[in-house]
Structure 1
């Protein structure tokens, strides 16, 4: 009888996630952008090298890396010019080539949302204009970095809100830029908005469908970093992004996994993540995420609170942070702690 009562209570709590009584209101249902980069059909049909090019939908990042390592500079440049969208988004392609390919694709775009991303000096590691648009940008010298961090954002993030001026530290570019400024030489930070995020706080935000698609893309992305010879990253996951990271945890190859303002990671505890990374959690007292039920019933909700004692994560101080998007604000104890993790000081 007690178990039945607990189940009913959990269902009621999960229902509030969708009805809005816990702060999660309505949102627009999204269809995840998945699969190989745009232009892949033309890439597959390209026979100019006299041999097949790696299939963007099947080749591993390691295979792609080996393929490009065997090409001459002229052959690489020719592929970039013919297929900038594939070269710029194919995990395993050397990062310098991806920067140039994405700069080319952005200059060719007529969509005003991307005008700022095309500015000279920006290091765009991924640019996929499909759907609401997906972007990854590098802050710092990634090739020379001893420590690499990846920032994974939550809901309402796409190419148009990647680096908006409003609520700066709730954007991937704002979070990554702030972390990079707080860390010392030898660090690089990647703002990764490489998945379809929920819009609003409705059913998409309360369920794991978009997170599952995002986890697959994030795992492939970090495999691409490894294939390019870059250091294993520390991964910082905000809000719904922590759901993505929880599902991807076992395949990220990360040194550290840091979640902030998390609704849950679809895991009961750290052991349930099946990762060798050190797991950290931050939640400030003014974050509305604390009002969201930390349950998972019939696919609704995301499970245990990573900042709870029973979860087993290392706690990140967050007394200075304000609200749901204040963790990366300059001068906060949370940002200082994040920088220590990023620099490997706390390992």
Structure 2
């Protein structure tokens, strides 16, 4: 009887999550893209004089950084020209080298959906065409920035839709551009990081933590790569389901700040349970439909305590003028001004 009651409660929660908020917009369950990038086998079949190339699946970002620091320019360029998908996705490799490698890799796909990502001036820090595609784009000078921010998006984001027309200051790239502009630009680099397989629509994938768990591993490795190339400890700005990813990754990153907005929960009872030295911030606008999502975690469904609640213990970000679920970076909003101050370290 107890087991039946638990199943019934979980089913009721699922119905509420997928039908009582934004409607059943879900699709089939998606499989997360994990593991090293395509081309890894060919990469590992080679060796440098006196040493093998690092395994993209197991080598740390610091090991990758040491490898490239010991290579001359000719050797670096030889590797990127023959293994662009591997070099372009190696956390710890020099950013400029990754930009060039990913330009080659994107062009080589011959896929019109990605063609704009290879245009001159784009700084694509990672690109993986598997599944719906994953991409990270840098706005600003990552190698010389005094401050770094990373946008971690929620559902329905992927490489194929990275350049799709959206409302102003929405979507990973739009949020990144808006944040960099609000910081004044020159000293801050912002990364739009769609580096994990996101849920599609509002369905079981969005109610579960499965995709977030896979994404958290990738986010932790990505931030380790930033550290390995000497970038400042980042501020993570985590939207919607992206805040679940950030909650699970928190203890494994060296983030200076973790900012969640439009969050269904972080899979933690309170900020202390994140086990992070980062300052934790939370925002929710008055018309954000995420407020209707039950803040519970039961039988693997739901993401726990509301991060904007007093019980969670996060610092509050003003958001009274935010419209809807995606308006947090709209120019002129109090939330964007606060985000910019956090990103530049201008709040204590």
Contact 2:116–2:163 under 8 Å retained in 1: no
Contact 1:242–1:262 under 8 Å retained in 2: yes
Matched, 1:140 2:119: no
Shift of 1:215: 0.2
Counting matched residue pairs gives: 344
- Spell out the pairing of 1:214-293 with structure 2 (5 A cutoff): 214-293=215-294
Distance in 1 of aligned mates of 2:305 and 2:6: 15
Partner of 2:61: 61
Gaps of 5+ in 2: none
When the two chains are superposed, the root-mean-square deviation of aligned CA atoms in Å is 1.8
What is the TM-score normalised by the length of structure 1?
Answer: 0.95
Contact 1:17–1:301 under 8 Å retained in 2: no
Residues 287-338 of structure 1, C-alpha deviation per residue, up to 9 Å, x if partnerless? 0000111110000000010011110000101112100000011111100000
Distance in 1 of aligned mates of 2:168 and 2:153: 12
Contact 1:215–1:244 under 8 Å retained in 2: yes
Partner of 2:91: 91
Partner of 1:23: 22
Partner of 1:101: 101
Distance in 2 of aligned mates of 1:218 and 1:102: 19
Gaps of 5+ in 1: none
What is the TM-score normalised by the length of structure 2?
Answer: 0.95
Partner of 1:38: 38
Contact 2:17–2:294 under 8 Å retained in 1: no
Partner of 2:335: 334
Contact 2:234–2:255 under 8 Å retained in 1: yes
**SS in structure 2 opposite 1:27?**
coil
**SS in structure 2 opposite 1:311?**
coil
Contact 1:61–1:224 under 8 Å retained in 2: yes
- Relative to structure 1, the CA distance from residue 168 to residue 132 in structure 2 (aligned partners, 3 Å threshold; closer, same or farther) is farther
**SS in structure 2 opposite 1:90?**
coil
Shift of 1:177: 0.6
- Relative to structure 1, the CA distance from residue 12 to residue 129 in structure 2 (aligned partners, 3 Å threshold; closer, same or farther) is closer
- Spell out the pairing of 1:144-223 with structure 2 (5 A cutoff): 144-184=144-184, 185-223=186-224
Shift of 1:9: 9.8
Residues 208-246 of structure 1, C-alpha deviation per residue, up to 9 Å, x if partnerless? 000000000000000000011111000000000000000
**SS in structure 1 opposite 2:33?**
coil
- Relative to structure 1, the CA distance from residue 115 to residue 55 in structure 2 (aligned partners, 3 Å threshold; closer, same or farther) is same
